[in-house]
Chains A and B, each alone.
Chain A
């Protein structure tokens, strides 16, 4: 969760709690408190599971979205459809984020080079079994190494200070010491990687596929088949693959034409991606 989301969540949550604990509401005290609890739950749902709630909302109200001329996001919120002279093109997206992002690992993993060497083979095998169009997208931006290293050094010094303070106290907590040592190992590993010439990056990866049909339904059904096939095929890579529905669908459609800045990316992609 990014810093902005935490601020949003804390402030709005506190407001709801403030009203919950508010003054006398007479005989309506219970309903008002129930509403306050519901508001807190709704805020949490919007933050953590809006990809489930938003399509339910649009389906119930029968609302479709036109992101630009010629395109429609149907009420199911699972595809972007374009009608070209009677042919319907349905585009859908899958997240494809790496489970084991090495920069957060505690130790350098053995056999990483071998894994890397298998990458091109795995890619070709995967692509060979796909007989429909798709795109594998990586949106990325590299950090400034110097600044990143300085930040890491700052964090390491702080952890070392905490460690020596805890050790110097009369009764050091073993669990706290373990936690500090673990954090220090992660930082050491990151610094080793920087020393080997790796650059830290922020990235979002996703897969996009398009199907075609003579009706919206045919195109949408084929799209689901294609997405299921891609999900199976790309499982050989260590990826977290989920179909994207709801709000993020519009954003990915927009990012087809504009590469967003980092702030916009981190503000819009949370749990699902």
Chain B
């Protein structure tokens, strides 16, 4: 639809430019000021007509620009379909859905013979070319999410800290109990320091496919059907179990905060800052 409007705009603008051009050529020489004004208008419209090819998507948002901010879309980039099998994006009367396929590859090139490496490369090339629909295949390196683990350890650490403070405030506390709590506190301290010292990274690969439908259900069904076909093809070609991704697995492919989990990275940044101060 948007593409049709874009072409229509181009045709309209060029028709106006052409009409102006013809009109200018018919204007008598003594009316040259009119020719000059019309020529300038025609040239401006001509440039706008060409710019329409690349910047058509900005035309409407540019008109509504506020405080030097062009807002193309006020809603979120996508929303998760309730079943969690695909994401959906509404665009006027159409809905586009995208489904994802996890591609688990566990073997490293270091454990392959030369022939196996060549076969793997060939098979991978076949995976890339097997789909009759446009697909995106991506390999992703991400920071492993230790947010929950870090939260748990920091809670344990603060509990131990509290216990230590309360026991040391009591002068009659038994010595062995104080030592035990001190040991526990050191243990949590060390664990916390080690967990946040370095970022652990993981890798995953996935394929993505999209489909357009008149309704959410139609688009999602089409997209998941395509994804299942692709998953079956990849599984058969590479001899692995590729499957359609769901819910949070999809978010891990899309959202930056899933690629770099906030708590994990904040703790690392604090550690780096402390290191720099020392």
Q: A11-B14, A84-B262, A134-B141 are in contact. Are A25 and B114 (CB under 8 A)?
A: no
In the complex the two chains form, is B141's CB within 8 Å of A127's CB? yes
In contact, A140 and B129 (Cβ under 8 angstroms): yes
Residue positions of B touching A, CB distance < 8 A = 3, 10, 14, 17-18, 21, 24-25, 27, 29, 32-33, 35-36, 39-40, 42-44, 46-47, 49-51, 53-55, 57-58, 61, 65, 68-78, 87, 89, 96, 98, 108-110, 112, 114-115, 117-118, 120-122, 125, 128-143, 199, 201, 203, 208-210, 254, 256-257, 259-260, 262, 265-266, 269
Q: Give, as a whole number of angstroms, the nearest-CB distance from A189 to chain B.
A: 17
Cα A267 to Cα B7 in complex, Å, equals 12
Contact A46 B39 (CB under 8 A): no
Residue contact A32 to B139, C-beta cutoff 8 Å:
no
Say which residue of A69, A87, A117, A261 sits within 8 Å of B117 (CB atoms).
Answer: A117
* One of A84, A113, A121, A214 near B109 (C-beta < 8 A): A121
Q: Out of B73, B129, B142, B266, name the residue touching A69 (CB < 8 Å).
A: B73
Given contacts A15-B49, A255-B136, 4 further A-B contacts (CB under 8 A): A42-B47, A43-B50, A87-B266, A140-B135
Indicate if the CB atoms of B96 and A258 lie closer than 8 Å.
Answer: yes
Q: Which of A86-135 contact B (CB under 8 A)?
A: 87, 89, 91, 113, 116-121, 123-124, 127, 130-135
A214 CA to B132 CA, complexed, in Å: 44
* Interface segment out of the listed A58-66, A157-165, A234-242: A58-66
Shortest distance from the beta carbon of B139 to any chain A beta carbon, whole Å: 5
Which of A9, A69, A263 sits near B50, CB closer than 8 Å? A9
Q: Is the CB of A19 within 8 A of B109?
A: no
* Contact partner, A120, options B53, B54, B120, B129, Cβ 8 Å: B120
Which of A231-273 touch B at CB < 8 Å? 247, 250, 253, 255-265, 267-268
Determine whether the beta carbon of B68 is less than 8 Å from that of A64.
yes
**B53 contact from A5, A25, A71, A87, Cβ within 8 A:** A5
Secondary structure call for the B interface: helix
Residue A47, interface by CB 8 Å:
yes
Our pick among A89, A253, A268 for the contact of B54 (Cβ within 8 Å) is A268
Q: Are A133 and B134 in contact (CB under 8 A)?
A: no
Residues of B within 8 A of A210 (CB): 256, 259-260
Q: Interface residue tally of chain A, by bracket?
A: 35 or more
A-B contact pairs, 7 of them (CB 8 A): A22-B25, A117-B121, A120-B112, A135-B139, A138-B128, A141-B131, A141-B134
Tell me how far the C-beta of A1 lies from the nearest C-beta in chain B, rounded to whole angstroms. Answer: 12
Tell whether, in the assembled complex, residue A69 and residue B10 are in contact, meaning their CB atoms are under 8 Å apart.
Answer: no
Give complex CA distance A5, B114 in Å. Answer: 45
Choose among B32, B257, B259 the residue that contacts A24 (Cβ–Cβ < 8 A): B32
Q: Does A180 contact B (CB under 8 A)?
A: no
- Output the least CB separation between A144 and chain B (Å): 8
Task: Give chain B nearest CB distance to A51 CB in angstroms.
Answer: 10
A43 to B43, CA, bound (A): 11
Q: Which listed residue (A137, A142, A265, A267) contacts B131, Cβ 8 A?
A: A142
Tell me which residues from 1 to 53 in chain A have a Cβ below 8 Å from any Cβ of chain B: 4-5, 8-9, 11-12, 15-16, 18-19, 22-28, 31-32, 35-36, 39, 42-43, 46-47, 50
